[in-house]
A and B are shown apart, each in its own frame.
Chain A
Amino acid sequence: MLFNSYQFIFLFLPISLAGYFAWGRLGNLAAVIWLALASLVFYSASNWQFVPLLVASVAFNYAIGLMLISMRLSGRQRFATLTVGVAGDLLVLGTFKYAGFLAANLDAIFSTGLTLDILLPVGISFYTFTQIAFLVDAYRGKVAGYRLAHYALFVTYFPHLIAGPILHHRDMIPQFEAADARRPNPHLILCGLIIFAIGLFKKTCLADGIQPLVPLAFGSGSPTFDQAWIGALAYTFQLYFDFSGYSDMAIGISLMFGIFLPLNFNSPYKATSIIDFWRRWHMTLSRFLRDYLYIPLGGNRRGALLRYVNLMITMALGGLWHGAAWTFVIWGTLHGVYLCINHAWNNYGPAVAPRFARAANFAAFVLTFLCVVVGWVFFRAGSFSSALYILSRMADPRQVALGRAEMVQFAFVAFYAGLAWFAPNTQTIMGYDHEARTVGDVPGAWPARPVFLYASAAVLALGILGIQQYSEFIYFRF
């Protein structure tokens, strides 16, 4: 089920909210069980055949976690238990997500003739990663023990199940345990509605609105210089408004239940370095990769050279996490290279004189944005050769169309750029503070003003009116 569908907005969400607060009168556990069941219904609406897999994954990881938390195991036994758990998760993920990719590569190298076409369960990358983090923390002794219902809700919680944010059990389960569902909180519901409205608008009006320009670069035609740039920039903004719109919707929905989800975006295209970009883009994935891959690999503790190697490995695997294709690996590796250069520049590059600081900052902003756009070409292109072809068109100003249509399209893209670069982001508008668990409480903040209420109501209406018959979120594929 899509957040940007009538079924979700007019049927599923009101029923699940009403049920949550109705069952909440019987106590926290009843409300939690209701929400977990509602989440399974949400998942089954478009992925019913994978519900058993999701349930089995929850049961398997909970059992492994319970062994690590409750049983008196020796160090070796604990490590063996963790290995079984993580290997089991990776085996399932590998089978559904990467087996076809592996078979295709083996076929290309050894002409095995073997091809595998396995349907990808939606959200498998997200729920696998959240559970691996849980197992690793249980192994490290950082988990006190959770009830099955709370754990099951943590994994299946529908606002994040399909495309994140990637949740951390220490952040979420205490909220589920403490959630007072006996009475709805009108303030949180209102703020949740407004955040949801902003996200819906981002998705249905902004992301879907610019989507028709993307094929200019990535379609089957031969783009000119300007068309290739329009297409690449259109995808750059489509991806941002699509994914950040989804994340806003997830945060807004969750807030209606009284649960604060972590932020996933913080105006990433305002970044002035690649390091800064990755602190602003898909923040929960960046944190996961840092805590559960980069640091266990050694992070920056084993010298400069190994730090760069670790960065490259982390980013290449981060790329592969997005999809079973070499273009994603190349995208991740490219960002690994960017990060290495960025760190090397910070360590060994010349210091900028204060009088040039603003100019240097602006140059860094432009360079960062261009590097990100180049990366998105690999991310979006169907193959490595297609990506190179598009990039070659973007680098060849000899062929320019620049007719009336291209000029209008450039103006369209410039409008989106203005929004991404200069408009305040959702959390700033709403005063959303995930750590402090507050929202809309800033004195003089927009949510307190009546004009804001009516404007955001109009935004919700426009978001609903912008719903198209079928418009999946890009990150559903990952």
Chain B
Amino acid sequence: MREPAKAILRFLCVSALIVAAAAALNFIVDPLQLLRPARFTPAMYSADSRMQDAGLIRSQDFDTVFMGTSLAIHFRQSDIDRLLGVRSVKLAMTGADSREQSLVLAAALERHPKRVIWQVDDWIFRNAADSGPDLYLPADLYRRNARGIAGYLLSGAMARESAWMLARSIPPLQPLVARLTTGVLFKFLIPRVDDINALKPDFDVSEAYNAKKALAAFRSAIDPARSAYLAERYNYDAMVRNFERDAVTLIAQNSGVTFDVYLPPYSILQWVAMRDASPATLKIVYDFSAYFARRLTQLPNVRLYDFRAVKEVTHDLRNYGDLIHHSPEIDLKILSWLAAGDVVVGRAAPTATLERLEAQTAAYPLGSIER
């Protein structure tokens, strides 16, 4: 064989060897616990829930799925279990649209849970910025097809995590590696599943959630340079279409599962910002909310909760870190409301709470904001 041909062979063999070594490492360590529960190394978890959820669905025992966006991301599974008397898995994903949530829920429902608690925002049903869940979500990991598994095993980033987790599992190295482990290079930093995306005990809640922050977010939202974001990708027909495809179809296909769907308590400023900076968007949201409530209350396996007009929470701006994100105290309140069955939207008057919200928004004076 001539020299360049031999060099090609050597080149390809070395590449293949490195790739195979990385794949073998990923297979053995399995950082996501996608193939089996943690066996060779202690279980570690990542805060990247779009990726981590694929592993949680396979590795955890649960009878209840907790789904949502960033508004549900800080809930602790232990709180959910304690207050609702269930064994839950939290699959909330920051900024996830309805297609992503639906895909992840469908994968979780294959494990036959009894109940789904679903925190829903109206904006998850807007048209996705680009097409489909595959763009942001490693969808093939959830589908568990060959491409998904190959992508997982052939991932260099995952191999880096595997090597690190392996090093961390060797007792003499453990303290040193643990000290060197930071979020800058590594993703799997969380040793307890309950701590995934939960706020740390020493987290300064009053610093993160206060009226000053909520008002700053309000001013930014109504600033003409930024207010276009309020209206971005809102289209009533598309939202209805996406809602039917991603929520109604999924719920109807799983008639044996109870879906507790709840609309979270945004601060009143979110609605006032829309009222003042983008009234057409607010109209779309109201119209969609009415459709949403009527449609869901028709489904026998759905209990719908609307917390958007709970004035003692939504008008107290100290509860918020921006226009919509509420503090962990409100997380607990939501769980207690769900446990008590309060604020259920009745089949007889599905838009009653929406009408209360509309009245509150219309009546909220600008002067209150300045104070």
* A385 close to chain B: CB less than 8 A: yes
- A458 contacts which chain B residues (CB < 8 A)? 14-15, 18
Using Cβ atoms and an 8 Å threshold, which residues of chain B touch A465? 18-19, 22, 154-157, 159
Task: Tell me whether A457 and B18 are in contact in the complex, defined as CB-CB below 8 angstroms, given that A190-B4, A194-B11 are known contacts.
Answer: yes
Contact string against B for A residues 219-257, beta-carbon threshold 8 Å, 1 for contact and 0 otherwise: 010100000000000000000000000000000000000
Residue A418 is within 8 A (CB to CB) of chain B in the complex:
no
Q: Please report the C-alpha to C-alpha distance between residue A186 and residue B6 in the assembled complex, in whole angstroms.
A: 9
The stretch from A165-173, A327-335, A466-474 touching chain B is A466-474
Closest to A461 in B: B18
B residues less than 8 Å from A462 (CB atoms): 18, 156
Report the bound CA distance from A438 to B15 in whole Å.
25
With A6-B147, A465-B155: A190-B8 Cβ-Cβ less than 8 Å: yes
A388–B225 CB distance below 8 A: yes
Tell me whether B280 is interfacial, beta carbon within 8 Å.
no
Minimum CB distance partner of B140 in chain A: A469
Complex: how many Å from CA A122 to CA B134? 19
Given contacts A6-B150, A386-B225, A465-B22, A193 and B11 within 8 Å (CB-CB): yes
Q: Contacts A190-B4, A465-B155, A467-B154 given: A457-B134 contact, CB under 8 Å?
A: no
Whether a CB of chain B sits under 8 angstroms from the CB of A44 is no
Q: How many A-B residue pairs have CB under 8 A?
A: 86
With contacts A454-B14, A457-B14 taken as known, whether A186 is within 8 angstroms of B135 at the C-beta atoms is no
Minimum Cβ distance to chain A for residue B93 (Å): 15
**Closest CB of chain B to A245's CB: distance in Å?**
16
Q: Does A50 contact B (CB under 8 A)?
A: no
Other-chain contact of A469, B18, B139, B159, B228 (Cβ < 8 Å): B139
Known: A457-B18, A464-B154, A465-B155. A470 touches B135 (CB 8 A): yes
Query: A190: which B residues are within 8 A, CB to CB?
Result: 4, 7-8, 11
A49 to chain B, nearest CB (A): 14
Kindly identify, within residues 332 to 389 of chain A, every residue whose CB is under 8 Å from any CB belonging to chain B.
Answer: 383, 385-386, 388-389
With a cutoff of 8 Å between Cβ atoms, the chain B residues found around residue A116 in the complex are none
Query: How large, as a class, is the contact surface on chain A?
Result: 20 to 34
A6 to B147 alpha-carbon distance, docked (Å): 9
- Contact across chains for A470 and B154 when beta carbons are under 8 A apart: no
* A469→B151 CA distance, assembly (Å): 7
Residues of A within 8 A of B138 (CB): 469
Chain B residues whose CB sits within 8 angstroms of the CB of A467 once the complex forms: 151, 154
Q: Is B283 an interface residue (CB 8 A)?
A: no
User: How distant is B305 from chain A, measured CB to nearest CB, in Å?
Assistant: 28
Determine how close the nearest CB of chain B comes to the CB of A223; give it in whole angstroms: 11
B158 — nearest CB in chain A belongs to which residue?
A465
With A408-B184, A465-B19 known to touch, is A453 a contact of B11 (CB < 8 Å)? yes
Question: Chain B, 134-152, contact with A by CB distance < 8 Å: what is the 0/1 string?
Answer: 1100111000000100110
- Bound: A458/B16 CA distance, A: 9
A456 to B8, CA, bound (A): 11
Residue pair B4, A186 in contact (C-beta under 8 Å) = yes
Name the CB-closest residue of A to B18.
A461
State whether the Cβ of A189 lies closer than 8 Å to any Cβ in chain B: yes
Q: Does B10 belong to the interface (CB within 8 Å)?
A: yes
User: Does B39 count as interface, using CB distance less than 8 angstroms?
Assistant: no
Q: Are A466 and B156 in contact (CB under 8 A)?
A: yes
- Known interface pairs A6-B147, A456-B11, A469-B139; A220-B225 also in contact (CB < 8 Å): no
Does chain B have a CB within 8 A of A460?
yes
**A-facing residues in B21-67 (Cβ within 8 Å):** 22
Q: Are B11 and A383 in contact (CB under 8 A)?
A: no
B135 proximity list for chain A (CB < 8 A): 470
For the complex of A and B, 10 pairs with smallest distance between CB atoms: A465-B156, A461-B18, A186-B4, A457-B14, A186-B5, A187-B4, A460-B15, A457-B15, A461-B15, A389-B225
Q: Please give 8 more A-B residue pairs, beta carbons under 8 A apart, in addition to A457-B15, A458-B14.
A: A186-B5, A189-B4, A385-B228, A388-B225, A457-B12, A460-B11, A461-B16, A464-B15
- Chain B residues with a Cβ under 8 A of chain A: 2, 4-5, 7-8, 10-19, 22, 134-135, 138-140, 147, 150-151, 154-157, 159, 184, 220, 224-226, 228-229
